[in-house]
Amino acid sequence: MSAPSSTAHRPRPQVVIVGDAEQALRRLGDWQAIDARADVKVHHLPLQGQALVNALKDADAMVLVRDRTPFDAALLAQLPRLRYVVFTGSRNSTLDLAALAAQDIPVSHTEWGPSKDSTCEMTWALILAATRQLEPHMARLREGQWRAAASEPLAGVLHGKTLGLIGLGEIGGRVARVGKALGMNIITWSPRMTPERAAEHGAQAVSLEALLGSSQVVSLHLVPTPATRHVLNAERLGLMQPGSLLVNTSRSALIDGAALVDALGKGRPGFAALDVFDVEPLPADDPLRRLPNVLLTPHLGFVVEPVYQRFAAGVTECLQAWLDGKPLVRLASPA
Annotation marks residue 152 as catalytic: no
Residue 280 is among the residues annotated as catalytic for this protein: yes
Give the three-state DSSP class for 37.
helix
Catalytic residue of the set 174, 251, 268, 310: 251
Q: What is the DSSP code string of 121-178?
A: HHHHHHHHHHHTTHHHHHHHHHTT-SS-SS--PPP---TT-EEEEE--SHHHHHHHHH
DSSP labels, 76-112 = HTT-TT--EEEESSS--TTB-HHHHHHTT--EEE---
Cβ atoms of 60 and 5 within 8 Å: the answer is no
Q: Is 299 a catalytic residue?
A: yes
Q: What's the CA dihedral at 66, 72, 73, 77 to 10 degrees?
A: -70
- What beta strand segments (E) does the chain contain? 14-18, 39-43, 61-64, 84-87, 107-109, 162-166, 185-189, 204-205, 217-220, 245-248, 271-274, 294-296
CA distance 136 to 293: 11
Count the Cβ atoms, other than its own, within 10 Å of residue 54: 11
Catalytic residue of the set 111, 121, 135, 280: 280
As to burial, measured by CB atoms within 10 angstroms (0-12 exposed, 13-18 middle, 19+ buried), residue 328 is: middle
Instruction: Pick the catalytic residue from 83, 299, 310, 317.
Output: 299
The catalytic residue positions are 251, 280, 299
